[in-house]
Amino acid sequence: MDPHFPLIAFNHEQIQQSTTGGYLTTKKSSFDSVTERLLNLDMQVISSINKRLASDE
């Protein structure tokens, strides 16, 4: 009966979906290679892609 329940439930669902979407899966045999690639990402390129996606490019 709490009037804030729908908002809290919706927020919880959003948090759960964003957390689940952030997982990366890989085979154990290629884990070292994947982590090396992630550590060496060019943040300027990632930022550019992010801006372009945000502007529906």
Residue pLDDT tens, the chain, 57 long: 788 998 999 898 888 877 766 677 788 898 999 899 989 999 999 999 999 999 987
Question: Would you state the pLDDT for residue 41?
Answer: 92
Q: Is residue 9 part of a domain?
A: no
DSSP letter (8 states) at residue 40: T
Q: Is residue 52 part of a domain?
A: yes
Range of the domain at 49: 25-57
Q: Is residue 39 part of a domain?
A: yes
Q: Is residue 13 part of a domain?
A: no
The closest alpha carbon to 38, from 24, 52, 27, belongs to 24
The closest alpha carbon to 12, from 23, 1, 2, 4, belongs to 4
Q: Is residue 15 part of a domain?
A: no
**Domain count across the chain:** 1
Its pTM surpasses 0.95: no
> What is the spatial distance between Cα 49 and Cα 1, in angstroms, rounded to a whole number?
44
